[in-house]
Amino acid sequence: MGQQAAFAWGASLYDQAAAQYAISAQQKAQMQAAQTLQKTKAEYAGNIEKDQSTEKGKAFDKVTDEMVDKKGNVVKDKEFTIIDKYSDPDDKTKCADEYREAVSSLGKSYGAEIDTSKGNKDGKVTLEEFVEHEISKLPSDASDSTKAKAKLTAQTAFGKIDQNGDGYADWKELAAVMATLDSDISAGDKKDLDGKIKSNDFAKWSSLMSQNQTNEFDYKVRANYTQLFGKDK
């Protein structure tokens, strides 16, 4: 999700999380409960098409690369556009359909980018491919310790992305992640899913995605999955 973001996951965010969650025994019990959140029953969304364009996925990586610096600080006023405009802003049903189409297209493109750059091009995104994709964005001189931390946080993130626990980050799950990054942290749900991923929102949600000590991201991404694709079968 961008070199700086990956670096932040691998180093600064990991250290910040460790300090932030030095907690009591009661809180540790709550943490354990959070870690055992049940997987969903959602079906695998299907493989990504072989001719799927990676252009949007690469653009997502490039823009999010500029949202967080190497020290984990948010770069203000950066955003990534999922959808430019709606054909009829007053038609909520049509807007929802157009948003679903746009965020699904982004999820497929991002999945294809991971699968083609670090995978075996079989149309699936595995844990190993996702981790390799994230680690590859670290600086060339990154220490073994930084790489180990990046691997751990990427593994944690994948576990949250893979909602049904089938071992894959399918395109619907990736689309739900993109929608979560598009959830406004400053205005409740009033500006959620406006089609623009802003740097502040990206920084918060990507940080929560890499932390085992909280389920805030998990609940949000599952709610967005349901909003986009319906309830578990």
Written as six digits, the tokens of 183 are: 């959830």
Secondary structure letter of residue 182 according to DSSP: T
pLDDT given at position 186: 72
- Count Cα neighbours of 136 within 13 Å in the Cβ-side half-sphere: 12
Q: Contact at 8 Å (CB) between 193 and 183?
A: yes
Using CA atoms of 73, 56, 137, 211 in order, give the dihedral in degrees to the nearest 10.
60
Query: Predicted confidence band at 30 (pLDDT cuts at 50, 70, 90)?
Result: low
3-class DSSP state of 50: coil
pLDDT given at position 156: 97
Residues facing residue 197 across a β-bridge: 80
Predicted confidence (pLDDT) per residue in 65-90, tens digit: 899 998 889 999 899 999 999 999 99
Nearest-angstrom CA–CA distance, 126 and 155: 11
Q: Across the chain, what does the average pLDDT equal?
A: 86
- The predicted model scores a pTM of 0.83
What residues make up the domain containing 90?
A: 3-229
Range of lowest pLDDT (41-55, 100-114, 187-201): 187-201
pLDDT given at position 185: 76
What is the domain count for the chain?
1
Nearest-angstrom CA–CA distance, 180 and 197: 9
Predicted confidence (pLDDT) per residue in 39-71, tens digit: 999 999 999 999 999 999 999 999 998 999 988
Range of lowest pLDDT (6-10, 89-93, 151-155, 168-172): 6-10
> Is the pLDDT assigned to residue 16 strictly greater than 60?
no
